[in-house]
Structure 1
Amino acid sequence: MNKQIMISPSHPDRKLIEHALSLGIKDVYCKVSCSIPEDLQHHLNVYLEDENGVIEILGEKTSKPIKVKVEDAGDIQKVLNAVSIGAKIIFVDTPSWKIIPLENLIAQLQEANVKLYAYASNPSEAETLLGVLEKGVDGVVVKVDSIEELDIIHEIIGSIDKIELEYAEVVDMRNAGMGERVCVDTVTILNMGEGLLVGNSAQFFFLIHNESIGSAFTSPRPFRVNAGAVHCYVMMPNRSTRYLSELSSGTRVLIVSSTGGTRVASIGRVKIERRPLKLIKAKVGDVEGSVILQDAETIRLIRSDGSPAPITEIKPGDKIIVHVSELKARHFGKTVEEFIIER
């Protein structure tokens, strides 16, 4: 899924632009009144809108984007007319109703060779627009005015693409004694098949299912993932890692589905409690990984057929869903090129 996010800073000062570049964000959308530091412009893809709504891509002569304001049903036809005469890039400005007009356009233009871009007033709105009718718009122009908002945009970019999942064979399961495990309570309802990627190493992650199923003795808690022991790594939205013990209220985490789909959710609460633990080892080819989880019926991994299975029922030989990343060392959660062995 090749989505494009353009930042639209009201005041594109040096500090903001340099931070955007450090995150790999190079697409900037500006009105003629804003000025980007000249020595930084050649590092960027700049979309410049003049006072008449005409958009120019600086340094690009072949692409001719157009902008259409959609305020009622009749304006939908303006977009369709533009496509019929060959428009390839259309910025759709929906100042009042955001979702419904875009749903209509996406549905009608899904077979057309055209890219639709929408405008978002904040990062949260950008997330929504990228997922309209699941397909979403091709790109979003999102207003950002702070370093913190840029960091959230970076997380959204990291969560757009699917993550590669594989089937691993369970090779060993054993008791790991008592220890502290971490329950991650998000602020959203998690769907069947969704959970967190957690592992003992930064190369091999198990998909830990949420607690939406419940049991005869516990009510469903679909906002919760009983994620593992405090030392475990968890995959974050920008594909970095953190220790489960580092998570807290307000931290944004990467929610992953059994099909590889991803989204970002904020944490409402983290609970760390002492519980009996179990070590689970699995292999994909010659690569072996492990995870330590609470030893209880409510903690589930996901089988190769997509069904969540309690770890109390999983046995050696079973196939479960994992993510295996390239083996690299990590420093404060970021990958670095150096020798490392994790066991």
Structure 2
Amino acid sequence: MEAELWADVSGLSAGATPAALARVRTSAVTTVLARLDQLADWKPVERTTLACLVLRPDELDLGDSPVDLVVAGTPEILQALRPTADGRRLGVRCEIADGAGMDAAAALCGSVDVLVAAFADDTNIPLELLLARAQGTHTRVLKELVSSAEAATVVGVLESGPAGIVIRGDQLGDLDRVGEALRARRETRRDMVALEVTRAESVGMGHRGCIDTATLFGEDEGMVVGSTSSGGVLVCAEVHHLPYMNLRPFRVNAGAVHSYVFGADETAYITDLRAGEPTYAVSAGGRFREVLVGRVKVELRPLRLIEARHGDTVVNVLLQDDWHVRVMGAEGRPLNLTEVRPGTQLLGTVCRPGRHVGIKVEEQIDEF
């Protein structure tokens, strides 16, 4: 599940609330935590849920408000709050200053939907312990940041990290920095291998797709594209010099429409990708980072077949037959497609064949 980013505006005065909520609307915030008296300033946003912080049980009279989650301000009022939550999801905020406080918070895992952990110290050891205790329960543990400088280390705690991060209302200027740290958490790494080209030739006309994304690619990035589930070639993004046109640093000229685009764990046909869906930018070092598809542009173009081998595994890709299409050489240097010859070393990935709707399956599949 994707990491959450919360903005806690409950500590702000009534006068400061409208500006804070306006800032939240232009950010990647997934949940706003506010007091009941602040809700009059909230206008629903489709991608943002609303949580209400309750410090006394008698404060809670939600009526028809758009609150999705009720958060008890302390563990002590949690039990009193349960009967008045009106079927909404329930959470609790725990201030943790020592081992006893951590044990008390851990004991609540499994009995609430969300636990917001506010640690007195900047060490991540108690967070690791709390996350370990929450394993196997439905409780999502979020860490309240003391400062945005913590973000990069907090999201990397343990393999999966906390379910999300909470930013206080007086630190909303750091929303973008923390959001970037959470996005970086969605990166994974895969081994890239050298592929020796065994065949490179023009094969005639066909439809190819350019994948335009809502991101800017780095100079060593592109997408891994192949005709079979055995693997593919790293096709460079349009970030390298073109004498006759402007660069398209958001685009990969990704090849024939039947091709697989390889992600960190799954593949997708080029023609299956749609605006707003995730795909992966891949670096020469093997970093797969999630990016959003903006559009796929399909046109009839001359195609060129590149077939390459790594050990006993053979992969191939059909790309637009033009020198301005680049593929990544095994040494991390972009090569014009028309320079590629048998014996050229390219960079790509190989894997055991067998995919069904893009997901790896354990069965015998031969692809030619």
User: With structure 2 as the length reference, what TM-score do the two structures score?
Assistant: 0.60
Q: What does the per-residue CA deviation read over 1:217-236, in whole Å, with 9 as the maximum and x for residues that have no partner?
A: 12211100000001111123
Matches within 5 A, 1:116-135: 117=162, 119-120=164-165, 128-130=180-182
**How much has 1:299 moved relative to structure 2?**
1.1
Separation in 2, partners of 1:125, 1:314: 41
Q: Output the aligned Cα RMSD.
A: 4.0
- Structure 1 partner of 2:358: 333
Matches within 5 A, 1:59-74: 67-68=117-118
Matches within 5 A, 1:132-143: none
CA contact (8 A) 1:234 1:241 kept: yes
Separation in 2, partners of 1:220, 1:66: 45
Q: What does the per-residue CA deviation read over 1:228-255, in whole Å, with 9 as the maximum and x for residues that have no partner?
A: 0011111235x22221122222221111
**How much has 1:92 moved relative to structure 2?**
3.8
Residues 1:56 and 2:106 aligned together: yes
Residues 1:245 and 2:271 aligned together: yes
- Structure 2 partner of 1:93: 144
Separation in 2, partners of 1:215, 1:6: 40
CA contact (8 A) 2:93 2:117 kept: no
Q: Which moved more, 1:195-204 or 1:213-222?
A: 213-222
Distance 1:121 1:229, change over 3 A: farther
- Structure 2 partner of 1:102: 151
Residues 1:203 and 2:253 aligned together: no
Separation in 2, partners of 1:196, 1:51: 42
Separation in 2, partners of 1:101, 1:289: 43
The number of aligned residues is 261
CA contact (8 A) 1:179 1:274 kept: yes
Separation in 2, partners of 1:315, 1:228: 18
**Unpaired runs of 5+ in structure 2?**
7-29, 32-70, 73-77, 83-89, 96-103, 131-141, 168-175
Separation in 1, partners of 2:226, 2:267: 10
CA contact (8 A) 1:55 1:66 kept: no
- Structure 2 partner of 1:190: 217
**Unpaired runs of 5+ in structure 1?**
11-29, 36-47, 70-74, 137-155
**How much has 1:333 moved relative to structure 2?**
1.8
Separation in 1, partners of 2:316, 2:197: 9
Give the counterpart letter for 2:151 in structure 1: L
Give the counterpart letter for 1:119 in structure 2: G
Give the counterpart letter for 1:102 in structure 2: A
CA contact (8 A) 1:194 1:209 kept: yes
User: With structure 1 as the length reference, what TM-score do the two structures score?
Assistant: 0.64
- Structure 1 partner of 2:9: none
CA contact (8 A) 1:303 1:320 kept: yes
**How much has 1:116 moved relative to structure 2?**
7.2
Separation in 2, partners of 1:311, 1:281: 12
**How much has 1:171 moved relative to structure 2?**
0.8
CA contact (8 A) 2:144 2:166 kept: no
CA contact (8 A) 2:198 2:343 kept: yes
Query: Larger radius of gyration, structure 1 or 2?
Result: 2
Give the counterpart letter for 1:273 in structure 2: E
Separation in 2, partners of 1:66, 1:89: 14
Residues 1:276 and 2:299 aligned together: no
Distance 1:241 1:117, change over 3 A: closer
